[in-house]
Structure 1
């Protein structure tokens, strides 16, 4: 199976916008109610057996099962009788809201994310139709269950060979959008190592430095826009809370944030295509992006968007048949790419790599990119050797078919 995601801007009528807004509110209530059930169950099991809190304690019968996606979905029918407004929303949309909560708890357990939070009014901004019937898209229109035909701006054609499986409706500052997940019953072969290779080192002084000597200065999308953003936020603070003028000022701030994000994504996309020109293999560092975002330079790391750039570069490599792989990022700035000697830790002010063992000198970031290239070629050589011996080599996680 191969999936692609197509994004289009919707052109709903006022009545349809009212339905979208009502559905988002109903999904928010279901999400918060289900989260409250889970939170109360967890708190009722957190007290000691032989003692209770002096203030208060959650008491739930011992035989009450733990709330999960399955038993909460089964109770949706009973809840609809108590709250008739939930019947106006498609049942599958509410089920996907509960599945969204389940994914949040799985991310908390497995990925060490924080405990899921309740969503305030207006914070629920998307809902999903997991299944669409055949011929649901005709002449720049999409047919949504219980809503009907909704027009959208079709900026590119959807191949007839694919089947539209899901529709994800998203509310943004610039309008309503739909993400269509198209499925093909084919297996797309992964690119194999071939052609010229390039190693890439990312940083804050130079956004990227390649092993062939290319360095690009990091554009400061958010930092350069802070002065205007400060002015817009100051206008919001001067408005009366809840007034129409306050909502208009908040919308301007949201649109400006979206503009900054689009500028960053566009630059990353263009840079990824430039890197893929005339190369057959691309190697990057496997960085701890969460740790970088929580450091003293976290604001600038988030502004650079290293994670988004790696994702876009991986997708571009897949589309253009370029081999992509992440390598170990430890001590890339301390190893000499010429002789492999550990030159020791460098201060941030040292911008030149000088090896006392072999006399090799180069720009610090370029030398780190060359170390990435050496490690990547070593990994590729091991993979090619195993293929030649007839051994099975699994596709790394970094080469799974992404949704783009």
Structure 2
């Protein structure tokens, strides 16, 4: 089964905008209420057996079970009978909110993610229609439950053979968007190592360097607009809470953030295409970027968006029939790609690799990318049963 997601910009009417905003408000209330139930249950179990707090204590029955998704979904169905606000929203949309909360709760425990947060106004930005029936796409219209036929900018056609399974409506600073999940029942074969291999080394001096000698400068997406963002946020500090001027200024700030994000993502896609044009098998370092973000250069690392770039590069490699692999990151700048000798640590200001053993000299980042390429080739050969 192959699943793709295509994103389009919506052009809703005023009534449809009101309906979308109402759905987001109700979804936010359901999320907050369900999260409050879970937190209260957990806090009620923290009381000591032999004593209680002098200030307050949660009063929940000892035999009360934990409010799982199924328990909260059943309570939601009962609440819809007496609450007209809940009746105004598609039942499956609210169930998806509870599913998302349940998944976030499980990730908190199993993947050490942060505690799920309560949603303030405008923090709930999307909702999902998990099932779509009948005719979905017609000319420049998309049919969504409860909203009806909505105009949208069909920037690219739906591929032949794909069926639209679900839709997510997203509110952003620049408008409303719909993300259509497309599925087709086909067998996807894993792409194996083949053809011309290249290695990719990333950094802050240059965004990346390839084993072919290509150096791509690092654009400073956030840095270039940081001053403008600081001025807008300084003005926001003096605006009255809830005023129209504060809302207008918040929209300007959100649009600026979206401009930074869109520019970064566009650069990543274009760069990924350039890399795919150079070779058939692409190797990168296996790096945990969370540790990079905590360092002295954390802001610049986050601005570059290396994690997003690797995700996009992996997707573009698969889409274009290229092999994508990750190798061990340790010592790539301390090894000579020509003779495999250990050259020792280099200070950050040393940008030239010069091997004392064989005399091989090249750019430091290019040498590291060549080491990455060699490691990728060796791992691929070992997986086939060949000796190193």
1:153 CA displacement: 1.0
In the alignment, does 2:341 pair up with 1:341? Answer: yes
Match of 1:197 in 2: 197
Match of 2:321 in 1: 321
1:333 CA displacement: 1.6
Equivalent positions of 1:296-311 (< 5 A) are 296-311=296-311
Q: Larger deviation: 350-359 or 170-179?
A: 350-359
Determine helix, strand or coil for the equivalent of 2:277: coil
CA displacement 1:284-321 (0-9 Å, x = unmatched): 11111111112221111110010111111111111111
Equivalent positions of 1:114-125 (< 5 A) are 114-125=114-125
1:350 CA displacement: 2.1
- The gaps in structure 2 that reach 5 residues or longer are none
In the alignment, does 2:365 pair up with 1:369? Answer: no
Q: Larger deviation: 142-151 or 12-21?
A: 142-151
CA displacement 1:85-114 (0-9 Å, x = unmatched): 101100100010011111211221122111
Match of 1:46 in 2: 46
Equivalent positions of 1:10-89 (< 5 A) are 10-89=10-89
Q: What is the rounded CA distance, in whole Å, between the counterparts of 1:344 and 1:111 in structure 2? A: 36
1:370 CA displacement: 1.3
Q: What is the rounded CA distance, in whole Å, between the counterparts of 1:311 and 1:36 in structure 2? A: 34
Is this contact kept in 1: 2:198–2:278, CA < 8 A? Answer: no
1:273 CA displacement: 0.7
1:263 CA displacement: 0.9
Determine helix, strand or coil for the equivalent of 1:37: helix
Under a length normalisation based on structure 2, what TM-score does the superposition of the two structures give? 0.95
Q: Larger deviation: 274-283 or 58-67?
A: 58-67
Q: What is the rounded CA distance, in whole Å, between the counterparts of 1:160 and 1:374 in structure 2? A: 40
Determine helix, strand or coil for the equivalent of 1:113: coil
Count of residue pairs the alignment pairs up: 386
Under a length normalisation based on structure 1, what TM-score does the superposition of the two structures give? 0.92
Q: What is the rounded CA distance, in whole Å, between the counterparts of 1:258 and 1:125 in structure 2? A: 14
Match of 2:234 in 1: 234
Match of 1:397 in 2: none
Match of 1:132 in 2: 132
Determine helix, strand or coil for the equivalent of 2:249: helix
Match of 1:162 in 2: 162
For the aligned residues, what is the CA RMSD? Answer: 1.6
In the alignment, does 2:251 pair up with 1:251? Answer: yes
